[in-house]
Structure 1
């Protein structure tokens, strides 16, 4: 089968489409004929060597953490899916989505949203799961029908995670402010933001109080954001671990209500993907696809995804046509 491979770290030019053996499903895995994958910031970091020594020990590897395609075979312990069903999934650290076939553990997959093209469904898993888990698990947002609406600020609202976060925060009943470059304000408003600010116009001492600030690049420090957080407000960073001493201190337990920092490790959770599929099918959540590239153009897809013009997600169509 054909797969986009990485043999050493570097710029987009290090990616090559090669012939590799088919994978075989075992245990609770399904074998998926891939229709599309997508490019996330994690893919860019992996290719550039930014995911640490563990990734280096796995070289050569196939890139792509998101996948959408058709189940063609099942391992002996699979109970959730059968051949012919279309699924989407977030793969584990070994990636592998930018290939014609990939194996996925059934707990990491869900039925893909109906009546949505594969190139759209493939844009969902990593970015939307990160946004959903950041807002619900770390930010404490839950759907509410009455009462005061929580205030949420999404920093980096035109990116993959940020654009999904805008839509999901609105679904969860929040008043949403997006922060993005001025030329992307119309896009962020279309994703559901109640207001949009430019980064240069954001004054933490004068804005807020925010119940949740979601930092998607991630680029913010807790010390800078703290004056704008409410009494129980939280800055949620998509960085798995704090890199500043002050940020680490902000995560230590303290008595009573106080602003806090939370960090993210996205879980490959099929139940969350099923929830997202229902929102997409019901028209409550938009899937923001910017551009679609062919598998042979994987280097160009990475190069475009690293640029400043992206609005939403960059997708790689694996199946021809």
Structure 2
């Protein structure tokens, strides 16, 4: 009972003490509150004065706030969300602070946690510069490709027209200046954007890429466009490729090595090379590009920069013949009969030449206007695909085919099957759903006649073989047309037309 009484008494004492202290301090607090209000009013007056001084471009701290020569900080250009380039001189004073209802100064952007720089990103108060910085951090690679987003569209077109260069630069082995920025062609936009053709390509300035340990930096002399390039632009491989936007298309290049990664052993600066860039990242429609060492081969003096045309088209033709159709490019083997469709195109014209390296009878299809062109490549028979016989892919000599290298679209399995030998194979370079289903069916039923969807696999030894064949004069790159880099849009339009005879080259001065 004593314990309970003590606990009760203590509780009473505590409450009474609180009441007494509250009453004691209530009188003295009046004077303290008055002092605090006076300090707050004084602070408000100081801040208001500072705001007024900043509005009038006069520093509240005297001349020490001015620039080196007594001038205000230089203005900088930023790009608003609408893409309009604006001039900004420091922070927007009116937007940094505002008075609250109680008379105190509060941060207007307290909710956004950042000062309002006049550029908003989805209401989050992030400037363009901060957006790029945050994206770069997420990707963990500094300002590499992500800086292209900042430099894309209107701002970069302005930079190119005015010839702006970054202050940091270095020189290659020949003493030629390499600015920290180079010109590229990108697909417009910083978000996934498909289609648009040549009109969607925009000329911008981007940082010269830095090679990783297993890469070489190449100054381009030529690049070559393939149908797959505009098909990727149209979304053929979405969402796998492109891996990032803006995207620099094209993967087939030739040029000179100007910088080496730390692990490079095969090359030195000044070497002439031909290279295949990675399909996911592209990068070939630019003045400089980085390429993996294992996808780069030396280019001897006998091989011109037109060797850029060899890469995708030549590798496709070689692998379709030797790996998919299992043909031997050797005269000592028994004769085989091969049909090559669209023989005047990029892949087709290489396939004809490579097939003739072996003991192979070549029947080729093309338009009537390209008969002489295809015959000069070495084709034994040429048929017009627009005629009934050509549409049925019937050999003029009545031969049945051991293999078909189908470089076009629109020809069904039912058209090819009657013209095949018992163990004949159709290699489809542009397989669709029908080809894949037919392939599965023929595999499950152990059919002797079959269709094989082609899957490219770029290997350095294959590319070296092609370069050697060009050096020896056994294979030639037939060029439909050449365009300067400044006319790359015209080259893009040409390849999309589907009527190029041979390959299209873009040259870099």
Equivalence for 2:455: 265
- Give the alignment partner of residue 63 of structure 1, picking from 249, 256, 281: 249
Determine if contact 1:223/1:246 at 8 Å carries over to the other structure.
no
2:477 corresponds in structure 1 to 287
Paired position in structure 2 for 1:142: 328
CA drift at 1:191 = 1.6
Whole-Å separation in 2 of the counterparts to 1:33 and 1:260: 44
Query: Does the CA-based 8 Å contact 2:232-2:242 persist in structure 1?
Result: no
Distance 1:196 1:13 in 2: 37
The residue that corresponds to 1:164 in the other structure is 350
Would you say 1:115 and 2:302 are equivalent positions?
yes
In structure 1, the gaps of 5 or more residues are none
Alignment-derived partner of residue 273 in structure 2:
87
Mapped contact 1:178–1:196 kept (Cα < 8 A)? yes
Instruction: Report if the CA contact (8 A) 2:333-2:358 is conserved.
Output: no
CA displacement, residues 194-229 of structure 1 (integer Å, 9 cap, x when unaligned): 111111232257754101101112333323211111
| Structure with more of its chain in strand, by fraction | 1
| Matched-pair contact (CA < 8 Å) for 2:297–2:460 | yes
In the alignment, structure 2 segments of 5+ residues that lack a partner are 1-181
For residues 149-202 of structure 1, give each alpha carbon's deviation from its aligned partner in whole angstroms, at most 9, with x where no partner exists: 111111111110111111111113311111001111111112221111111232
Contact 2:184 2:204 in 1 (8 A): yes
User: What residue is the counterpart of 2:425 in the other structure?
Assistant: 234
CA distance in 1, matches of 2:346, 2:439: 26
| Residues 211-220 or 281-290, more deviating | 211-220
CA–CA distance in structure 1, aligned partners of residues 495 and 243 of structure 2: 25
Alpha-carbon distance between aligned partners in 1 of 2:420 and 2:299, rounded to the nearest angstrom = 37
Kindly indicate whether residue 435 of structure 2 is the aligned counterpart of residue 249 of structure 1: no
Q: Deviations over 1:4-31 (max 9, x none)?
A: 1112331211112210111111121111
TM-score norm. by structure 2 comes to 0.59
The answer to whether the aligner puts 1:3 opposite 2:184 as a matched pair is: yes
Q: CA deviation at 1:55?
A: 2.3
1:102 aligns with 2:289: yes
Match of 1:219 in 2: 410
Which residue does the alignment assign to 2:203?
Answer: 17
Q: Deviations over 1:48-69 (max 9, x none)?
A: 2333222255221111110001
Q: CA deviation at 1:297?
A: 1.0
Point out 4+ residue stretches in structure 1 off by more than 6 angstroms. none
Where relative contact order (Cα < 8 A, 6+ residues apart) is larger, the structure is 1
**Structure 1 residues 74 and 177, CA gap change in structure 2 (3 angstroms):** same
- Alpha-carbon deviation of 1:80? 1.9
**Structure with max Cα Rg:** 2
Q: What's the secondary structure of 1:62's corresponding residue?
A: coil
